[in-house]
Amino acid sequence: MIEVRHLSHSFGPHWALKDCSFQLQKGEFLFLSGPSGAGKTTLLRLLFAGIPVQRGEVRVAGFALNQIKDSAVPLLRRQVSVVFQDFKILPDRSVYDNVILPLQVRGLGRVHSDRRVRAVVRALGLDSRIHLLCGELSGGEQQRVAVARAFVVNPKVLLADEPTGNLDADLSFRLMDLFKQFQAYGTTMIVATHSQELVKRHPEAKIIRLEDGKITGANWPGAMLDNGLAGAPLNGFNTGDGYASGTRSLSLSRQANIRATMRQMGPDGAVERKTTGDDKK
């Protein structure tokens, strides 16, 4: 689903990413950790064609981003939802209007989108705010609007940049639970975060540590090999034996919970999903 090989990126003389490689299969969950300025945002931007690939190879949801045409970028972005560090929501529109935007862009009428929008908004605990303007919301609420907008389309890939940055511990854990629910639904996710606590709570997730543009740690053998890392386990992180069993390790009650949410959101067919190329990556 996501394949990154020897990816480097420079802004002028400064190399923000240096020779990074890793692969993710459908439905896998990856934490991208690392200090400020490590290149997390840069990596995510490369993955949704926000900036062009300079060196190395990137494949996302069947699109080869090295040679993607401008006209294909919207198609890629229909598969890849992004939660931005600075949210990128419209402050002068209501929560509802912000969340429905990706569905409108896909040409879905209000009748079809309404149920999904409301279900996602409810899942994020924003039902009481649904008709408020986003500019009037708190930072954490705005962040959840951004998350709702990303999930409303059932993306194949979700890229989230510090999605818990403005949330208290309890809310961030709940948000991560929601992420896990979507993971179970088959969405491949990359979450960039500073929070070690959050990472520790999810032993089943894959983890990559970025420092100064280089991958300096990973908790699974493939990424370690690809980036020429020694066999030592990732310092301070779970070595994650359970990473691959992502969905299977979920408790039964949680699985029931997921099914309930999905049912509320309506059938998958309610959202146009263009399958372009191989998604068996």
Partner 1 sequence: MIRTFFRLVGQGFMGLCINPWAQILTLSAVVLVSFLVGLFLMAITTLDYQLSVVSGETSFQVYWRTGQNQVEIDEQWEDIKHLPGFLLSRTYTPEEALKEMENRLGHTATPRNFAFLSENNPLPATALLTFSPGVREYETWLKETSQYLWNLPGVERVTVTPLRDELGQAWRTVNTYVMRPAIFFLTLLLGLVVGNTVRLAFLGKSYEIEILQMVGAFNWYIRLPLLVCGAVQGLAGSSLALVILRFIHIQIRDVLNFPPLLMEIQFLTPEMTALMLAVPTGMGILGGWVGVKRV
Number of shown-chain residues binding ligand ATP (CB under 6 A):
12
Q: Is 72 exposed, middle or buried (0-12, 13-18, 19+ CB in 10 A)?
A: middle
Verify binding: residue 90, partner 1, rule CB under 8 A.
Answer: yes
> What residues between 68 and 97 interact with ligand ATP by CB under 6 A?
85
Verify binding: residue 231, partner 1, rule CB under 8 A.
Answer: no
Which of 21, 33, 41, 183 is the binder for Mg ion (CB under 5 A)?
41
CA 225 to chain centre: 24
Tell the smallest beta-carbon distance from residue 59 to partner 1 (Å): 18
Distance CA 2, CA 28 (A): 10
In the bound state with ligand ATP, the residue whose beta carbon lies nearer, of 117 and 190, is: 190
Distance CA 128, CA 91 (A): 17
State the binding partner of 223 from partner 1, Mg ion, ligand ATP, none, CB within 5 to 8 A by kind.
none
In the bound state with ligand ATP, the residue whose beta carbon lies nearer, of 27 and 165, is: 165
Tell the smallest beta-carbon distance from residue 113 to partner 1 (Å): 12
Tell the smallest beta-carbon distance from residue 107 to partner 1 (Å): 5
- Do residues 193 and 31 lie in contact, with contact meaning Cβ atoms separated by under 8 Å? yes
Neighbouring C-alpha atoms within 13 Å toward the C-beta of 12: 0
Tell the smallest beta-carbon distance from residue 184 to partner 1 (Å): 23
In the bound state with ligand ATP, the residue whose beta carbon lies nearer, of 113 and 193, is: 193
Distance CA 231, CA 239 (A): 11
Verify binding: residue 74, partner 1, rule CB under 8 A.
Answer: yes
Exposure letters 152-172 (e unless 16+ CB within 10 A, then b)? bbbbbbbbbbbbbbbbeeebb
- Do residues 32 and 193 lie in contact, with contact meaning Cβ atoms separated by under 8 Å? yes
Verify binding: residue 26, partner 1, rule CB under 8 A.
Answer: no
Which of 40, 59, 129, 209 is the binder for ligand ATP (CB under 6 A)?
40
Tell the smallest beta-carbon distance from residue 131 to partner 1 (Å): 18
Which of 13, 36, 69, 131 is the binder for ligand ATP (CB under 6 A)?
36
Verify binding: residue 209, ligand ATP, rule CB under 6 A.
Answer: no
Site residues, Mg ion (CB under 5 A): 41
Site residues, partner 1 (CB under 8 A): 48-50, 70-71, 73-78, 81-82, 84, 88-90, 101-102, 104-107, 109, 149
Site residues, ligand ATP (CB under 6 A): 11, 14, 16, 34, 36-42, 85
